[in-house]
Structure 1
């Protein structure tokens, strides 16, 4: 998907997703011409399928929509034409992007705000957040469709600081222009303020009809929380439903320990959810952001608190987990991102990560069986 560098790193020289210095001992890579979306021809997987897309050189998986592919192409190949720092977010940069031949971009001078309102911006994150790209593909393979498009890319633009152009592979995530943020500067990473106890009460069946129309997050249906819980459990994303690490015993190096958040677990009334976001264009549909998760989180410390209060899960996602084909479907999807694929050594380097997700999937399926939980059919949007 993204452009290919001069050499691919083997799994032994660069452990998967630990890419703070992926070019250790080497020189920064020269920029090449953008490589179009690509997809090798393979046998069609039963029940999922592929098709030839207009404007795409090869076939791509059906679960990646035309809109996904267009945004991925922008993120992978768009020229950086503007940049904006994101306050209080460290090594995160919002950039305006322009594809070669973009008539509108060629006529108008670069403007960060206009570029972003037109959907032509991306958020460059830290090399250590590369797992977000895998999270995007997991979201699409499972049919959740709640994450924003993401690709892996190396940057060379003179507009960016050297730390962004030193050859490191970074994730870039599409910037949704209509994400709804609270006006509270201390809580601007939410569309609505929701405490843990409120959240648990909202999940109770009797609350489905009794929720007040002006209650926090009242427009978000029950099924959205089920999708979020399933997704976060597979990735072990704690910084959303359990930023305090109340669901497992954290190591002293965990941010929740360093920031003394874990101590608040003693008082559930103080616990709040974070990164609960919707778009103005779809206020009843959650948007999953900051999905880097924890690929190395030990199995004996899996956070089952993420599943608390959830009594059903989306049928299509559960069927995919039960199929035994999650790893092969993810490999098929990840192959589209050529930069990511080659930097990790292809399937050989990616399989250990996918095996971890697959084991978590089997644990989740066992949890569903043991608790007699149900599945629900997704409604068309």
Structure 2
């Protein structure tokens, strides 16, 4: 961590000036955020500042809206000399779907899913780089239904056109169909990305398990909530999924996704997790069968830097920062993540697990 320019300094209130009212606060005069790439910043600006142009429902996801965004002015391409400018009220010729395929769309999610924005910053701070850019945003566009413009900020996640989905409409939230038993077999085989192994590199599962444990995301590796005691109001209980825990052949993984261009690397979506999950009820099933974790992410957890790094990263999203009470409001949440990190580090020591260095 010290090799990164001493970025693990503790931050004081004056390091987070209230007067900076930009939606995305990243600039040379602020503390650097080297874990956010230029592409990340551009997508965050698109999500935070882009004007809604069109919308579409997402099949089987009633509370999620796919919204096309017109890029902010500084991201607009310069018009070619001699090319006619579109007249007032003229629409661009592409359809909503075509514009989404150009990377100009977002998923606007439920207000309760705000933790997904924290998850994006955690992913980058840990050096995992597997989740999609996300911001918190309040919409005021007439294009959107009233409940999306009522003043409560919502998480907005970049819609990645390159993700590979299964053709089965009932199972399109996977690139690779896997049951729990098949997943555990893959872990034992230590697959290197070959076709019989589903194409995913073995080291990817350690990244996913670490990320999901810190966030307590069950709706991926453990959608039936078999590894902890769920509340009666949990969807896994209401939908009677929890009753399947004794029938291993019926336990299916969801949101196991890759990009068509990178089938050996996972993409993490739907990362809202459980910020309030008690430390006495953590889901250790998420790390079952995992024999290695990413060295860099573990080093961040060991360094004691997580609070400083996450605060600096979260400050870049003004709406999230303001709506969650700034540094004072976010510190308890971050300390919950730190505590889970300490529990995970003890698991690594107890099980004598390997640390995998990125090549």
TM range (shorter): 0.7 to 0.9
What does 1:1-381 align with in structure 2 at a 5 Å threshold?
35=22, 37-39=24-26, 52=28, 58=30, 60-101=32-73, 102-103=76-77, 108-109=92-93, 111-204=95-188, 206-208=189-191, 213-215=194-196, 218-379=198-359
The answer as to whether partners of 2:109 and 2:156 remain within 8 angstroms in 1 is yes
The answer as to whether partners of 1:37 and 1:58 remain within 8 angstroms in 2 is no
Question: Residues of 2 paired with 1:368 and 1:175: CA distance?
Answer: 34
Question: Residues of 2 paired with 1:67 and 1:208: CA distance?
Answer: 30
The answer as to whether partners of 1:38 and 1:60 remain within 8 angstroms in 2 is no
Count of residue correspondences: 327
The answer as to whether partners of 2:23 and 2:319 remain within 8 angstroms in 1 is no
Question: Residues of 2 paired with 1:197 and 1:184: CA distance?
Answer: 21
Normalised by the size of structure 2, how large is the TM-score? 0.87
Q: Secondary structure at the match of 1:224?
A: helix
The answer as to whether partners of 1:82 and 1:110 remain within 8 angstroms in 2 is no
Deviation at 1:111, TM superposition (A): 2.6
Q: Secondary structure at the match of 1:90?
A: strand
Deviation at 1:165, TM superposition (A): 0.4
Normalised by the size of structure 1, how large is the TM-score? 0.82
Report Cα offsets for 1:276-305 as digits up to 9, x if no partner.
001112111100000000001111110000
The answer as to whether partners of 1:35 and 1:77 remain within 8 angstroms in 2 is no
The answer as to whether partners of 1:60 and 1:336 remain within 8 angstroms in 2 is no
Deviation at 1:219, TM superposition (A): 1.1
Question: Residues of 1 paired with 2:236 and 2:78: CA distance?
Answer: 45
Query: Against the structure 1 CA distance between its residues 59 and 37, is the aligned structure 2 distance closer, same or farther, given a 3 Å change threshold?
Result: farther
Q: Secondary structure at the match of 1:278?
A: strand
Deviation at 1:253, TM superposition (A): 1.4
Q: Secondary structure at the match of 1:252?
A: coil
Question: Residues of 2 paired with 1:165 and 1:36: CA distance?
Answer: 17
The answer as to whether partners of 1:82 and 1:111 remain within 8 angstroms in 2 is no
Q: Secondary structure at the match of 1:156?
A: coil
Question: Residues of 2 paired with 1:92 and 1:135: CA distance?
Answer: 18
The answer as to whether partners of 1:61 and 1:332 remain within 8 angstroms in 2 is yes
Question: Residues of 1 paired with 2:309 and 2:329: CA distance?
Answer: 16
Report Cα offsets for 1:40-70 as digits up to 9, x if no partner.
8xxxxxxxxxxx4xxxx75540000000000
Question: Residues of 2 paired with 1:86 and 1:60: CA distance?
Answer: 36
More helix by share: 2
Report Cα offsets for 1:186-223 as digits up to 9, x if no partner.
1110001001011001101x4537x9x543x5210111
Report Cα offsets for 1:336-369 as digits up to 9, x if no partner.
0011101111000111111110100000000110
Question: Residues of 2 paired with 1:319 and 1:328: CA distance?
Answer: 14
Query: Against the structure 1 CA distance between its residues 327 and 192, is the aligned structure 2 distance closer, same or farther, given a 3 Å change threshold?
Result: same
Report Cα offsets for 1:112-166 as digits up to 9, x if no partner.
1121111111100010000000000000000000000000000011100000000
Q: Name structure 2 gaps, 5 residues minimum.
A: 1-20, 80-84, 87-91
